[in-house]
Chain A
């Protein structure tokens, strides 16, 4: 267990380290002069000013030196400032990160609740109309674009029925985005749960449990559900990553003030320091949460011992 943990954490650190290199290279992959592109839209700047900016960003130095400079700054918590307004990038990101995490976690709850329930019943009622209906719903669910689903929910619940606000950042505004993002992923989770449950339901210990006279509810909850969940819980980390990725799109549908919305704005403004900061923070969060969920998984399932 300890060895597995150390290996997992080292792997995570490696991923974050590679990200820092990728992020430094990012600005050099831009076709043309990034400084000119960044400032093209903002104000008329003189060539001298551009030169000054280039020097400030360290773009006039060799690339390894730039990398060391960037790393040094990041380790001190300095992610640079935005192109417009000169605000510290890290502050902007950290103010919005809780919103994104709140959305991702709420959506994950919706995904698990809907996906696991649907998958469980589909497997239990295998071959019946319930199974067919649920699995038809699932394949429709993975085919519907999340941004469109979001807009349709806004139309029905906000514009037509007036039950929920169109956008904003208090908790009532979380409902529609969380349902949108949650349902989009519930479809794939329900398919996974179903196939995992089908495996479990055909196991010998299920027959044994029934044969020794246990009630159906106990057989299902204690024997079937727990074992069927192992695969699903194993996918939690991946699902969380999907939620973070999906949040980027959904935040923009609902004007939810998270880091995804900031990222899209900074891509439009060609604000490379913010884009770099966003990628780093995103990668760090995803890596950390995956490690945490992996530990949780080992803790839940006593049969698993990583050596």
Chain B
């Protein structure tokens, strides 16, 4: 479900063949962090896919149990103010979280990589205008951009996803731009240019495959950033709206019963933290595996 898992290994710069890809995986999962991250994400994806099988109750069914009851054998994570089963809500919420993370990253990655590549390749005034615009956006922080986007579009889950996606565009653009500048001066690129390759071919066939690895790394970590931002928007009431089982929205609704029923706010927060941790650990692992120069003991 995540970009690094679905991107075909044949286009990656390092693993060009099957055996090399296997070797890459071996290097990747040698680090205990990447192992733990991989397991967390595997569990998360399984839970999301099998939600109807795993969840004992309908996530929006009121009166599945008594109201505001602490965790018990019948309701593992307790119940909320409508007697809904919190465990079932969190299980179904994993689908929303993964969807938000992946879609938001797709938006920011597509736009950011495009802007970064065009700016880096074209140079001149186009480069100046695009990158200056990215600098301005970058200095505003993602939170402000996301808030401005929600202020324009109005609060909803879809709009929060779009807002979070837009807010990270400058980051992807900058990383891509930096990578393109390096690649542009390498022999192979100059050779391709010299034999008369057209700009589109140069960008797609030569530049893109070579800047893929840093993009894969930041996209993996990017999912965790997107999940955090989107859940913060939902927490503020600007994202998913009740009765959606989105984790940030559950948490926000639980605030009213915080003293009486702290479990309503505790479990969704834990779920967010564990998910984000999974993507962060895998991202760290990927960075080390793809960039052997980086020293981390």
Knowing A155-B262, A252-B236, A264-B238 are in contact, say whether A144-B273 is a contact too (CB < 8 A): yes
A189 near B: Cβ within 8 Å? no
Query: Across the interface, do A142 and B280 meet the contact criterion of CB distance under 8 Å?
Result: yes
Complex CA–CA separation, A148 to B231 (angstroms): 10
Query: Across the interface, do B141 and A147 meet the contact criterion of CB distance under 8 Å?
Result: no
Q: Which residues of B contact A18 (CB under 8 A)?
A: 133, 136
Q: Which residues of A contact B33 (CB under 8 A)?
A: 139
Q: Which residues of A contact B210 (CB under 8 A)?
A: none
Binary per-residue interface labels of chain A (250-269) against chain B in the complex, 1 for a CB within 8 Å, 0 otherwise = 00100000000001100110
Query: Across the interface, do A31 and B153 meet the contact criterion of CB distance under 8 Å?
Result: yes
Q: Which residues of A contact B153 (CB under 8 A)?
A: 31
Q: Within A115-141, which residues are at the interface with B (CB < 8 Å)?
A: 126-127, 131, 139-140
Query: Across the interface, do B273 and A290 meet the contact criterion of CB distance under 8 Å?
Result: no
A105 near B: Cβ within 8 Å? no
Q: Which residues of A contact B269 (CB under 8 A)?
A: 144-145, 148, 151-152
Cross-interface CB contact of B251 among A146, A148, A275, cutoff 8 Å: A148
What range describes how many residues of A lie at the interface?
Answer: 35 or more
Knowing A15-B139, A249-B143, A249-B235 are in contact, say whether A267-B297 is a contact too (CB < 8 A): no
A211 near B: Cβ within 8 Å? no
Query: Across the interface, do B258 and A151 meet the contact criterion of CB distance under 8 Å?
Result: yes
Query: Across the interface, do A147 and B284 meet the contact criterion of CB distance under 8 Å?
Result: no
Cross-interface CB contact of A282 among B144, B236, B238, cutoff 8 Å: B144
Complex CA–CA separation, A268 to B136 (angstroms): 26
Query: Across the interface, do B148 and A26 meet the contact criterion of CB distance under 8 Å?
Result: yes
Q: Within A255-307, which residues are at the interface with B (CB < 8 Å)?
A: 263-264, 267-268, 272, 275, 279, 282-283, 286-287, 290
Q: Within B277-297, which residues are at the interface with A (CB < 8 Å)?
A: 277, 280-281, 284, 295-297
Complex CA–CA separation, A246 to B146 (angstroms): 12
Q: Closest Cβ of chain B: how far from A233's Cβ, in Å?
A: 18
A159 near B: Cβ within 8 Å? yes
Query: Across the interface, do A143 and B277 meet the contact criterion of CB distance under 8 Å?
Result: yes
Q: Which residues of A contact B133 (CB under 8 A)?
A: 18
* A42-50, A63-71, A214-222, A237-245 - interface stretch: A237-245
Complex CA–CA separation, A248 to B265 (angstroms): 20
Query: Across the interface, do B136 and A15 meet the contact criterion of CB distance under 8 Å?
Result: yes
B259 near A: Cβ within 8 Å? yes
Query: Across the interface, do B232 and A147 meet the contact criterion of CB distance under 8 Å?
Result: yes
Query: Across the interface, do B272 and A245 meet the contact criterion of CB distance under 8 Å?
Result: no
Query: Across the interface, do A267 and B258 meet the contact criterion of CB distance under 8 Å?
Result: no
Complex CA–CA separation, A143 to B135 (angstroms): 26
B228 near A: Cβ within 8 Å? yes
Query: Across the interface, do A30 and B141 meet the contact criterion of CB distance under 8 Å?
Result: no
Query: Across the interface, do A275 and B151 meet the contact criterion of CB distance under 8 Å?
Result: yes
Q: Closest Cβ of chain B: how far from A166's Cβ, in Å?
A: 9
Query: Across the interface, do B295 and A198 meet the contact criterion of CB distance under 8 Å?
Result: yes
Query: Across the interface, do A287 and B151 meet the contact criterion of CB distance under 8 Å?
Result: no
B150 near A: Cβ within 8 Å? yes
Q: Closest Cβ of chain A: how far from B71's Cβ, in Å?
A: 16
Complex CA–CA separation, A26 to B150 (angstroms): 11
B224 near A: Cβ within 8 Å? yes
26 A-B residue pairs with Cβ-Cβ distance under 8 Å, sorted by A, are A14-B136, A15-B136, A26-B148, A31-B153, A143-B224, A143-B273, A143-B276, A143-B280, A145-B235, A147-B251, A148-B251, A148-B273, A151-B258, A154-B258, A195-B296, A198-B295, A241-B141, A242-B141, A245-B144, A249-B232, A252-B236, A264-B238, A267-B151, A268-B155, A282-B144, A286-B141
Query: Hey, which bits of chain A sit against chain B, CB under 8 A?
Result: 14-15, 18-19, 22, 26, 29-31, 126-127, 131, 139-140, 142-148, 151-152, 154-155, 159, 195, 198, 241-242, 244-246, 248-249, 252, 263-264, 267-268, 272, 275, 279, 282-283, 286-287, 290
Query: Hey, which bits of chain B sit against chain A, CB under 8 A?
Result: 33, 132-133, 135-136, 139-144, 147-148, 150-155, 224, 228, 231-232, 235-238, 248, 251, 255, 258-259, 262, 265-266, 269, 272-274, 276-277, 280-281, 284, 295-297
